Amino acid sequence: MLMRWIAVPALLMAMTGLAQAECPELLQGSLQKLRAKESIDLCQRFKGKPLVVVNTASHCGFAPQFKSLEALNQRFKGEGLEVIGVPSNDFKQESKDAAETAKVCYVNYGVTFTMTEPQAVRGDDATHLFKILAAQSSAPKWNFYKYVVDRKGQVIANFSSLTKPDDPEFIAAVQQALASQP
């Protein structure tokens, strides 16, 4: 009987480790959702899904891209695409007030895709997600740097801030991600 009490926790720990191992490195960890108590378990929420990950900033001249990112989200979400916006003040253009960031995203631009609390996206302080994105391609060079990730958690393309979300090359990369196998 005692062995059963010891074996069950050990089995549960092994299963948890196995589940973590099955998760792509890119999606290991969690991020706080913007202006919510909810924490997003990246693996649980996004494993096996094609992604567009973009670092954002409310006071950036590229902020109008929120509108076309939302259009992209609406166009492809039925096919499984997930868009993740990660506000960052790494380039000194994000509000220090998360309520203001949320207002810009949700009220001014009508964003419905996942937005996180502001995170570091460059250097040693970068959140794990962006460390892996950088390792697989390159670190963001400015706000609204975009990554297209396949269903296995691999970056298949990255795009500068100058590339708009309706650019044909960007759309082609999104379609490639949608066509990828988990």
Round to whole Å and give the CA distance between 142 and 162.
10
Catalytic residue among 23, 43, 60, 105: 60
Cβ neighbors of 108 (< 8 A, separation 6 or more) are 66
Tokens of 2: 């005692």
Dmax (CA) for the chain in angstroms is: 66
Q: What angle do CA 32, 109, 89 make, to 5 degrees?
A: 45
- Indicate if 60 belongs to the active site: yes
Please give the single-letter amino acid code of residue 17: G
Please give the single-letter amino acid code of residue 66: F
DSSP 43: H
Q: How many residues does the chain have?
A: 182
| Torsion angle of the four alpha carbons 41, 22, 50, 121, in this order, in degrees rounded to the nearest 10 | 50
Report the chain's C-alpha Rg in angstroms.
Answer: 18
Residues annotated as part of the active site: 60
